[in-house]
Amino acid sequence: MPVDFSGDLKQALKDPEVRAALGAAVAEHCRSLMLSVLAEHQADAYLTAHQAAKYLYGSDGKVEAFRKLRLRHRQLDQCSVGRLKLRRWKRADLDAFLASNPRFRRHADGYDFA
């Protein structure tokens, strides 16, 4: 025998305290969902050479150093897409490069390149 709680639910939703509590719970759930989607999107974001250099070194003005790093480590150029000024790198690929080369650490994390 099915039980129907729709009338009780409608009555409860009319109460301002229940509405406030439910609204806060829904807002927190939406916030956590948006943060996880944003983190996933940022991991797949394509970076220009300037942005990739800033991501690796943690400061501006390191584009030339990033170019030299790419010349020394061809796998950085191999994981990129595009050509010349349209070349882009995925943030996840840069993280994979850093993980596969333990002597490199992100400067933004308080470390320097070895």
- Using one digit for the tens of pLDDT, what is the confidence trace for 54-110? 988 888 888 999 899 989 988 888 888 888 888 899 988 898 888 888 777 655 454
Q: How far apart are CA 51 and CA 109, in angstroms?
A: 16
Checking if the pLDDT of 13 tops 80, the result is no
Q: How far apart are CA 43 and CA 36, in angstroms?
A: 11
Residue 79 is given by DSSP the state T
- Which strand (E) or helix (H) includes residue 46? strand 46-47
pLDDT of amino acid 98: 87
Computed over its alpha carbons, how large is the radius of gyration of the chain?
Answer: 24
Please tell me the pTM assigned to this model.
0.55
Could you count the other beta carbons within 10 Å of the beta carbon of residue 48?
A: 15
Q: Which amino acid is at 33?
A: L
pLDDT of amino acid 114: 38
CB 94 within 8 A of CB 83: no
